[in-house]
Structure 1
């Protein structure tokens, strides 16, 4: 993941691809995972605070995937399916609200 983050930061610095999210590019409205690529770009560029602000949910998910082989994945799968669905749904709703505020679509 670290190598991918540094590579993404380098590619972004050399050739900025612009908005990668198709929903945001077409409608201007971000999706719940908008900012996921920015998380890796900012981490790869050595800016962890900006990475957290880009999408805390994507960052948490990436950390969960990275730590799953160390035994933490078992805890996730031990949860009831309904609980997992509720947690994922809540995370996506929270992430969408975060993106709407972060990108100025929703004013607080």
Structure 2
């Protein structure tokens, strides 16, 4: 049996994650109001030290409600995630229609560069969150 799997690139996966976060952010305020439950950062709750992703829920809710400044103040990374989410929809539609070819996996050097870039962005986000929540 010959099974063909479709390769989905990392930016596409992040864009899909962004779409899911946007959808969740639309219903999150109603959910928290109805149940009284929240989603605190476990690391911040236990240690008082924020993780690089602290503020993403707040930023996502602010962004889907049109508060770009509030979203950027909570976690500027949400703006990049939103840009990927917006761009992934037509990209996946073009691929599904056969107009655009599926992405090819990247090689070793490009993969290392991408990994280093993501790690650098995570460190920058962490510094931002430390400044926002601990040092201020």
Q: TM-score range by the shorter chain?
A: 0.7 to 0.9
Matched-pair contact (CA < 8 Å) for 1:32–1:96: yes
CA RMSD of aligned residues (A): 2.8
2:106 counterpart of 1:86: no
Matched-pair contact (CA < 8 Å) for 2:60–2:78: no
Q: Structure 2 regions of 5+ residues with no counterpart?
A: 1-18, 93-102
Q: Structure 1 regions of 5+ residues with no counterpart?
A: none
Deviation string 1:41-83 (CA, Å, 9 cap, x unpaired) is 2123332210111111233134324423527xx5x95770111
Aligned partners of 1:5, 1:66: CA distance in 2, in Å?
15
Larger RCO, structures 1/2 (Cα 8 Å, 6+ apart): 2
* TM-score normalized with structure 2 length: 0.61
Query: Higher mean Cα deviation, 32-41 or 52-61?
Result: 52-61
Task: Give the counterpart of 1:53 among 43, 49, 73.
Answer: 73
Task: Give the counterpart of 2:52 among 21, 32, 45.
Answer: 32
2:126 counterpart of 1:106: no
Q: Structure 1's 52 and 13: CA in aligned 2 closer, same or farther, altered over 3 A?
A: farther
Matched-pair contact (CA < 8 Å) for 2:52–2:129: yes
Matched-pair contact (CA < 8 Å) for 1:8–1:40: no
Aligned partners of 1:67, 1:77: CA distance in 2, in Å?
20
Matched-pair contact (CA < 8 Å) for 1:33–1:58: no
Query: Higher mean Cα deviation, 17-26 or 90-99?
Result: 17-26
Total equivalences in the alignment: 103
Q: Structure 1's 77 and 47: CA in aligned 2 closer, same or farther, altered over 3 A?
A: farther
